[in-house]
Amino acid sequence: MNRESRAGVGMTSARTRERLIGRLREQGIRDEETLAAMSAVPRHLFVDEALATRAYEDTALPIGQGQTISQPYIVGRMTAALRTSGPLERVLEVGTGSGYQAAVLSHLAKQVYTVERIADLARAARRRFQALHLTNITVRHADGCEGWPQEAPFDAIMVTAAARTVPEAFFGQLKEGGRLVVPVGADGQALFLYRRRGTAMTVERLEAVNFVPLLPGSLV
């Protein structure tokens, strides 16, 4: 693509991105800071060039290796959920994928830590963060089911792959008042929001979702 047609895509994408943000607001994403963060991140740069024209549809898209970039509505819903009832300085994301969700979080948090089990995806995400000058994101190629003990505790943890059962490590790595948002289940999944209150956790079911599975153990 030459420079002019690239600029054309850029202009179109700014407009279609705003249209998407408007739709998310209508669908009930009311947290303006979350919406502003989403309008600051060019989602088309987080998918393959062949899919870039679909980047501002409210749909999940393939990112290779059998994985997907989450649907924007779900990104908005999960991000807004983490912003309730407390600061968002240090955030852990499990399942970097394309890096889009981490990029959105980087506009809202001081420091974002994100863990990915597939080396190629971790590498590609790191390159995107560099290109976009998102310097407050650290990517690690590791099993996210362990959380990130060296950087804990976190104000919030977001898991973007579906857990059969929630790994214990996540609860132990939350600060007092910390939030954990995680999809749970196999065929029928739901999104849960946990909050740490002293030694106890409260839990709220948000809605039905459909994520790729959280795979413990083996790295690729």
Site residues (CB under 6 A) for ligand SAH, limited to 137-156: 143-145
| Binding-site member from 42, 72, 76, 97 for ligand SAH (CB under 6 A) | 97
**Contact status: 67 vs ligand SAH (CB under 6 A):** yes
Q: Which of 5, 13, 39, 70 is catalytic?
A: 70
- Compose the 14-53 pattern: x for residues touching ligand SAH by CB under 6 A, - for all others: ----------------------------------------
Tell me if residue 106 is catalytic: no
**Contact status: 101 vs ligand SAH (CB under 6 A):** yes
Query: Least CB distance from residue 60 to ligand SAH, whole Å?
Result: 8
Which CB sits closer to ligand SAH, 8 or 149? Answer: 149
Distances (CA, A) of 47 to 70, 75, 87, 202: 11, 15, 30, 36
| Binding-site member from 38, 160, 181, 193 for ligand SAH (CB under 6 A) | 160
Residues that bind ligand SAH (CB under 6 A): 67-70, 94-95, 97-98, 100-101, 115-118, 121, 143-145, 160-161, 212, 214-216
Which positions are annotated as active-site residues? Answer: 70
